């Protein structure tokens, strides 16, 4: 049996799930499967579907993996990821048949509310990835989160309830999850939502990120590495939805290169990676990406290399870029984020 646990960085944007499962079948996703009890049961009850479980917690993944292995369930795969990443980066528009979200973390404190998974933006993203008529089942035992979910679902034009009401507070047909049992034992009311994606067209506002060839820029400059190092200071750069934080600068052991640690955020991806300024011969530098951590060469990485090259050029009037493979706007004048 192939391993059920998928390696996130080996999955292309988007991923062909039929290839991963080795057959063409409707795709069902459970988000935040916890112990994996519901997920494995779902896969067993629906042998003709491809069932994906996504979780951020490694212990949960390991627990679920053991269950899948022990029971020999073939039609389930597990992924350690934020659900938003799975949906936006790995799933084609209109490719998912059903999504289950059981007892999502409620983040009850006011300053944590932005961490809640289900909101208007998330429903829009989900609507782009579900097939028309695709199903969304949600359950929560948190009264305040239930209010927010009710409001978001009632407000979205992309979903309609499959029940006569927005939610019900009893559902004896579903398999009880661990957090459902805790909620019931502690006397809380559970809210169960069963929605379907309407036929209404959904604006495709969540494009799949592109990968570009590994970026590089070659420069000539009379500056020595020491001088470049001395002139460096942390800075931030933002362009549309891409935010780059140029952090620490380190000198390589062999003395021939500088490493700039960068944090690049371009939803739904955030990468912490190393940009390298290497002296190939006196006065000749190449700027590229360090391969440590298998970075993905996104538009944000192109912008980061471009901004570093632009910064180098700004240090000395005789510094110039000889050649590069960057996008045209990656070499715009340097911009500092507010
Ligand atoms: C309260 S637990 C519920 C677990 C299980 N569904 C149940 O009902 O017993 C919420 C789960 O969602 C996972 N989770 C939270 N945010 C997530 C995200 N953005 N993507 C995927 N999983 C997430 C957590 O790690 C946790 O295991």
Ligand 1 mean position, distance from CA 307 (Å): 38
The pLDDT of 21-45, averaged and rounded, is 98
Closest residue (by CA) to atom 5 of ligand 1? Answer: 34
d(CA 78, CA 62): 9
Reply yes or no on whether the pLDDT at 281 is more than 60. Answer: yes
Region 158-181 average pLDDT: 97
Closest residue to atom 1 of ligand 1, CA basis: 105
Give pLDDT tens digits for 144-168: 999 999 999 999 999 999 999 999 9
Round to whole Å and give the CA distance between 125 and 21: 24
Ligand 1 geometric centre to CA of 179 (Å): 10
**Probe residue for ligand 1, chosen from 56, 64, 180 as the CB with the greatest number of ligand atoms within 8 Å:** 56
Per residue in 293-316, pLDDT tens? 889 999 999 999 999 999 999 999
Using the atom order of ligand 1, give the atom closest to the CA of residue 54: 21
Strand 217-220 to 284-289 pairing? antiparallel
The verdict on whether omega for the bond into residue 14 sits within 30 degrees of 0, i.e. cis, is: yes
Ligand 1 atom nearest 101 alpha carbon: 6
Q: What's the CATH architecture for 5-197?
A: 3-Layer(aba) Sandwich (3.40)
The C-alpha angle 8, 12, 15, rounded to 5 degrees, equals 95
Ligand 1 atom closest to the CA of 57, numbered from 1: 25
Mean pLDDT, range 186-193, rounded to an integer: 98
Q: How far is the CA of 181 from the centre of ligand 1 (A)?
A: 15
Nearest-atom index, ligand 1, CA of 179? 9
Q: How far is the CA of 115 from the centre of ligand 1 (A)?
A: 12
pLDDT band at 292 (very low <50, low <70, confident <90, very high): confident
Supply the pLDDT for residue 75. Answer: 98
Task: Please report, for the chain, the start and end positions of each structural domain, with discontinuous segments joined by +.
Answer: 5-197, 217-331
The mean pLDDT value of the chain amounts to 95
Would the pLDDT of 275 be above 50?
yes
**What is the CA(202)–ligand 1 centre distance, in A?**
27
> Residue 197: pLDDT above 50?
yes
Give how far Cα 286 sits from Cα of 6, 258, 275, 278, Å. Answer: 35, 11, 10, 5
Ligand 1 centroid–CA 238 distance in Å is 31
For ligand 1, residues with CB inside 6 Å are 31-34, 54-57, 60, 82-83, 102-105, 117, 177-180
Q: Residue whose CA is closest, atom 18 of ligand 1?
A: 82
The alpha carbon of 154 and the centre of ligand 1 are apart by a number of angstroms equal to 23
Cβ-based burial of 198 (10 A; exposed 0-12, middle 13-18, buried ≥19): middle
How far apart are the CA of 209 and the centre of ligand 1, in A? 25
């Amino acid at each position: 049996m192939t391993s059920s646990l998928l390696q996130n960085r080996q999955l292309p944007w988007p991923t062909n799930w039929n290839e991963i499962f080795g057959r063409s079948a409707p795709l069902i996703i459970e988000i935040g499967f916890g112990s994996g009890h519901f997920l494995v049961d779902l896969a067993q009850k629906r042998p003709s579907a491809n069932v994906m479980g996504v979780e951020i917690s490694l212990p949960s993944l390991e627990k679920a993996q053991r269950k899948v292995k022990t029971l020999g369930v073939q039609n389930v795969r597990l992924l350690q990821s934020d659900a938003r990443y799975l949906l936006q980066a790995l799933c084609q528009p209109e490719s998912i048949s059903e999504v289950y979200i059981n007892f999502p973390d409620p983040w009850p404190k006011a300053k944590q509310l932005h961490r809640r998974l289900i909101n208007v933006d998330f429903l829009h993203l989900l609507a782009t990835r579900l097939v028309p008529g695709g199903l969304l089942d949600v359950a929560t035992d948190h009264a305040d989160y239930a209010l927010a979910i009710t409001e978001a679902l009632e407000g979205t034009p992309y979903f309609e309830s499959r029940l006569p009401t927005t939610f019900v507070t009893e559902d004896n047909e579903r398999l009880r999850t661990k957090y459902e049992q805790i909620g019931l034992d502690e006397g809380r009311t559970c809210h169960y939502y069963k929605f379907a994606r309407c036929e209404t067209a959904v604006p495709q506002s969540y494009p799949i990120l592109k990968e570009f060839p590994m970026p590089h820029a070659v420069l000539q400059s009379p500056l020595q590495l020491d001088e470049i190092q001395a002139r460096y200071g942390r800075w931030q750069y933002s362009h549309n939805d891409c935010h780059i934080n140029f952090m620490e600068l380190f000198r390589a052991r062999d003395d021939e290169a500088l490493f700039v640690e960068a944090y690049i955020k371009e939803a739904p991806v955030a990468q912490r990676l190393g940009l390298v300024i290497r002296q190939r011969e006196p006065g000749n530098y190449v700027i590229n990406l360090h391969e440590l951590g298998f970075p993905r060469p996104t538009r944000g990485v192109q912008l980061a290399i471009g901004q570093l090259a632009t910064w180098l050029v700004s240090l000395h009037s005789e510094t110039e870029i000889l050649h590069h493979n960057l996008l045209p706007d990656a070499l715009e004048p340097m911009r500092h984020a507010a």
